[in-house]
Amino acid sequence: MKNKIISFTIIFSVCFFTFSNLFAQDKKHVKNVIIMIPDGTSTAVLSIARWYKNSENKGNPLWLAVDKYICGLVKTYSSDAPIGDSAPTGSCYATGHLSQAGFISTYPPKTQNDIVKLDPKKAYQPMFTILEAAKLSGKSTGLVVTCHFPHATPADFSSHSPFRDEMFPIAKQMVYNNLNVMFGGGLNYLSPLKRDDKKDLQKVLIDRKYSFVNNYNDFQKINTKDSLVWGLFADEALQNDIDRNPNEIPSLLEMTEKAIKILSKNEKGFFLMIEGSKVDWAAHSNDPIGIITEFLAFDKTVELVLDFAKKDGNTAVVICPDHGNSGVNIGNSNSSKGYDKLSLTEILDQLKKCKNTAEGFYDLLKKLNPNPNEENIKTVFKSNYGIDSLKAPQLKSILENITDKYNLTKAVAKIITSKSYIGFTTTGHTAEDVFLSIYHPNNYRPNGVILNDSINHYMCDILGIPNLDKYTDVYFATDSLVFKDYSWRIDTTLSATYPTLIVENSKAGKKLSIEAYTDFYTLTSMKNKGQKTEKKMNSVAVFNQVKNKSGKIISRHFYVPFSLRKEIE
């Protein structure tokens, strides 16, 4: 009897442990993950934006949508530098690996400055992203941004390159990576009139059964039952939220709402990355009103997303910047004395007078007069920024940069800041830890200070996605490894930038060809009168060519699925 009791106790304990473990796993997993990245948002921006939001509220304090779910800080950095660039920091969220400045979801080479351990054998290999893994599992995938779509952060989740500025090849990858939804700017990167390869990628999308829209009216008419939609609403990046015409360009909130309606139709779930892209741009310009209003537009979108997640009950929302920028804070040389006596009204008075961001100045001026003069400049400052007088050096700085939008934005921002109490330490990125805000239906979330690669590990964990490195090995194997027993070459006859990988097996009478940055290959049967068959891959074929400072090629490979070896046998 005693043995029976012991046996029963053991069986009960094992069953209870197994059940408890399964229950814990079930509480952890969700069907949908939405990651929201306010690019370049220093933690101090939360305080500034909160005070700005509260300045018109005389009753209870108004909180930001992100506030309630803040659970820690994220340490952001690159593999060889404490201060991160958007390309590797976004890549880290997408792949779980640190990388170098300029690298889009691509493994970095070793350097003498590395602060993490690297495997030199993996240098320049594309790294599989969580978005690509989610797509393989049958989930829908989407990107919603306010920048041009092949910019660093959206590219991080849907393409691979050691050169973030090579946006035409990156754009081609994104088109062929079979996203369900892409909303943002960047029409130029699809246009044959602008592209370096003269390819019409908008036609490619339409041929692939995508609904394509490029204006607000058509955006409103999108059928959310469609599972494939691209919407681009500017040649490059979208205008800042308070600068845009709401009847011509959808807001981040509107694009996000539409994307969720489309993606949530998939019973297997979805993965969505939303970026408030231009907080970072305003920070680079040291534009306080740009930073504040772009972040508040992002925070409104956070509120919408959280409302959806709570009602859905099977969605986790991860909110965190990719890095800090500009060292922005309340307090500058204007407040060195008497800072503790400044009222909220005094601190925000100049900012509240601004109807536009510094970036918006260029368009306002050109609209007033295509060839603006000093009086036009003064008129725009007075009517749109509440600045009645300009000093001679300030006026000179505007006139000197009148045709250069980028430098003009910085000159305008400097004038706005001089009238305010907002301070900056740099026009570049900063190494500070950034805020982490997470909503999970069962409150399963990390806390404290975590590393940036942990964001990716957490998202993979709750989605039930296995180690992304295994996907990398399967889908991004080098040409020399996959086809080592066959004759192969990289053909640049038509284009050095967009070459074709050609593989031949003379014994079997087969030839396989893959165009760079596409998701299909052509198999030619020499024994069957040259009959050609086009087949799809589950990933894009990535071509990376890297040269050293003297111009010598140090790495030149196609990265393709290892399974293609069987096709040529």
Tens of pLDDT, residue by residue over 377-414, are 999 999 999 999 999 999 999 999 999 999 999 999 99
Per-residue pLDDT, 20 = 41
Per-residue pLDDT, 7 = 52
> Residue 352 sits in which domain range?
330-423
**Residues 128/475, Cβ–Cβ less than 8 Å:** yes
Per-residue pLDDT, 26 = 80
Domain end among 423, 454, 488: 423
Domain count, the chain: 3
For residues 21 and 5, what is the distance between their CA atoms, to the nearest angstrom? 24
Please check whether residues 418 and 453 belong to one and the same domain. no
**Quick one: which H or E segment has residue 371?**
none
Please check whether residues 88 and 132 belong to one and the same domain. yes
Please check whether residues 456 and 518 belong to one and the same domain. no
Residue 4 lies in a domain: no
Please check whether residues 79 and 67 belong to one and the same domain. yes
**Residues 543/527, Cβ–Cβ less than 8 Å:** no
Domain containing 384 — which CATH number? 1.10.60
Residue 20 lies in a domain: no
Q: What does the block give as tokens for 154?
A: 């959206």
Distance from the Cα of residue 419 to its chain's centroid? 33
Please check whether residues 84 and 139 belong to one and the same domain. yes
Nearest to 502 by CA among 568, 569, 556, 546: 568
Please check whether residues 324 and 364 belong to one and the same domain. no
Please check whether residues 303 and 369 belong to one and the same domain. no
Residue 283 lies in a domain: yes
Please check whether residues 38 and 184 belong to one and the same domain. yes
Please check whether residues 61 and 170 belong to one and the same domain. yes
Domain containing 111 — which CATH number? 3.40.720.10
Residue 7 lies in a domain: no
- The reported pTM is 0.94
Mutual angle of helices 360-368 and 405-418, in 10-degree steps:
110
Please check whether residues 299 and 394 belong to one and the same domain. no
pLDDT < 70 positions in the chain: 1-25, 58-59
Please check whether residues 145 and 218 belong to one and the same domain. yes
Please check whether residues 201 and 296 belong to one and the same domain. yes
**Residues 415/390, Cβ–Cβ less than 8 Å:** yes
Residue 19 lies in a domain: no
Return left, alpha or beta for 331; rule: phi > 0 is left, psi -120 to 50 is alpha, else beta: left
Residue 528: exposed, middle, or buried by beta-carbon count in 10 A (0-12, 13-18, 19+)?
exposed
Residue 185 lies in a domain: yes
Residue 289 lies in a domain: yes
87 vs 92, 150, 348, CA distance in Å? Answer: 9, 11, 33
Residue 84 lies in a domain: yes
Per-residue pLDDT, 206 = 98
Q: Going by DSSP bridges, is the β-strand pair 270-276/140-148 parallel, antiparallel, or unpaired?
A: parallel
